Structure 1
């Protein structure tokens, strides 16, 4: 990276930087105090939140999410998420939520249904109420990324995509694939096709637990607008060039990568190689409940680790706005806010 002037070294408040947050999971973004309170309410033991690898993390996540068993609990999680995002200078947030996995239409036969009285429409309505309350209180806008999980199989995924498509003008802006990357994305291609044809963004997880082959598979089968993670694309120079040439954004979560062993040390994180290759990048938390880092912490981490300028941080924020599913007027408001931030006096 190029040497910088003294002017470049001046730092502005990251909280004041308008930004969009695009890679976060709803339950994994809950407040620790709320999860503890809900666990007590449901008479469930306080879930152990320690893990040392991705499989252990998946189990920890499931235990924490299991405490959300009442409509008022789900609504609270959604409202508090928006409040917490606003406090971090997030003007638009795009959490991945899975209303079809919460209600009584869960397609996976082995699943424990948490909101038994509600179908997918009813569950989504509860989520919308919580998001709307948060937006009214803070001004932070929300667009849902409808999620499916590879681990639950293909059954129900086409219907999930159709549900998302029906609600494109009712708060759902994207369609995401999460879960075990060892399960190939090809069987989920029909669902992604439905979402894309409806005008939704398609955002599969890839390039985290598995290498560049998982990113290639996602590209060839789902035709993504963004990749959730994608950091292991650095292992394939041709893939890096492809992502750059086609401007496919990678929604990177540095602390998550570090704690799950995707990066062995933060100084060895793949971010600089992605930047040098010209890949569009956003910074994200993934699951702040478990990883302990809020979105401003992620910006500070990469700034301090890689000695980045405010201009480079502003570029991450610009990409987050442009690559989001936010309405155009929201994108433009964020972009103007970023310009104003750069024109303001440094805080440090």
Structure 2
């Protein structure tokens, strides 16, 4: 008898701010601001994306993403996104969320990058206070902008660094892997490293194994967003394992963007069997049409039994920056989930089906 993946305690380490939105939310925001959305976000959802491994396919994906991002125009909009992302993750068994945001995208509407980040942090503290889920924030620089901007963001992230819900817990690098040189962003990552932040750049999805190797060599990451194409070179795969880097694998993203044509081709099993910790992530549910629990269901379809799913959940918790007390409670919840159907995390209104997560301790003053 298989156990429900929604009841499995886990951490969600790869979720983008704009991409986390519910489709109804982006439509509601668009209507409120008088913005016309592309048909793919109105009648054809989830959109059918072309292969993003070529320039035209990536342009279509980016156009839809930018259209959704243009609907976020106020502090209230930003708070709503954080709150709903946390609610959705908690419902699917996540005990900890690290939501990734580039505050420059929203700065024009709220008075600058500092207020934009502080709004996200403040709402992360607020939604963490009820104890269902803790939320940390990853500040992400964009490969599409000058590396000096990445240094500015790294300094801002360092200023807000901490290890509690509502703190900046990591620094990332996102957007089209084919833009910019990885080495040029090393100074920004050095700033983040000195601040004690988790280093979580993207690599190895749109580009092959060499992208992963360059990320390892120049940025010295704790985790790599995606990294699935490391399997294309056994030496790179071994290097990832030796470095102890966690890969944030997002099966729904890989298939939707055409990196793999079929879910069965996602090399999750090979990565895990190589001794590499994996944290499953949903990436951009707004455009890919699937959230966190669906990634665990996809792993089950790839042949992972409940013990295998529990291993993935443990890797996500251990690869996170969640406070130790919360991690210990969540890991204990994974053991309970394995002990028998119905153990572990209870869904809202599930009665005596399971034990709810341990409450988050009161937050220290901001």
What TM-score comes out, normalization by structure 2 length? 0.86
Take 1:118 and 1:344, find their aligned partners in 2: how far apart are those partners? Answer: 51
Q: Does 1:251 align with 2:281?
A: no
Q: 2:18 aligns with which of 5, 27, 33?
A: 27
Conservation of the 8 A alpha-carbon contact between 1:77 and 1:130: no
Instruction: Provide the residue aligned with 1:176 in structure 2.
Output: 172
Quote how far apart the aligned CAs of 1:155 are: 3.0
Residue 85, structure 1, aligned to residue 89, structure 2: yes
Alignment of 1:158-307 (within 5 A): 158-169=151-162, 171-183=167-179, 184-304=181-301, 306-307=302-303
Residue 68 (structure 2) pairs with residue 64 (structure 1): yes
1:100 aligns with 2:104: yes
Quick check: 2:17–2:99 contact (8 Å CA) kept in 1? yes
After superposition, what is the alpha-carbon deviation per residue over 1:129-180, rounded to whole angstroms, capped at 9, x for unaligned?
Answer: 3223322345210110110110122232111101111111260000000011
Deviation at 1:217, TM superposition (A): 0.8
Counting matched residue pairs gives: 326
- Kept in 2: contact 1:82–1:134 (CA 8 A): yes
Describe the SS at the equivalent of 2:139.
strand
Mapping of residues 4-43 of structure 1, within 5 Å: 10-43=1-34
Structure 1: where are the runs of 5+ without partners?
1-9, 104-112
The answer as to whether partners of 2:121 and 2:168 remain within 8 angstroms in 1 is no
Contact persistence 1:263–1:270 (CA under 8 A):
no
Distance 1:60 1:153 in 2: 23
Aligned to 2:117: 124
| Residues in 2 aligned to 1:74 and 1:270: alpha-carbon distance in whole angstroms | 35
Contact 1:80 1:134 in 2 (8 A): no
Distance 1:346 1:329 in 2: 23
**Counterparts of 1:46 and 1:38 in 2: how far apart (Å)?**
10
**Counterpart in the other structure of 1:3:** none
- 2:150 aligned residue (139, 154, 157): 157
> Could you list the runs of 5+ residues in structure 2 that have no partner in the other structure?
42-46, 53-57, 344-366
What value does the CA root-mean-square deviation take over the aligned residues? Answer: 1.5
Counterpart CA distance in 2 for 1:68 and 1:101 is 9
Q: Deviations over 1:84-132 (max 9, x none)?
A: 11111110000111123321xxxxxxxxx3x1x4222211222123223
Report what 1:148 is aligned to.
141
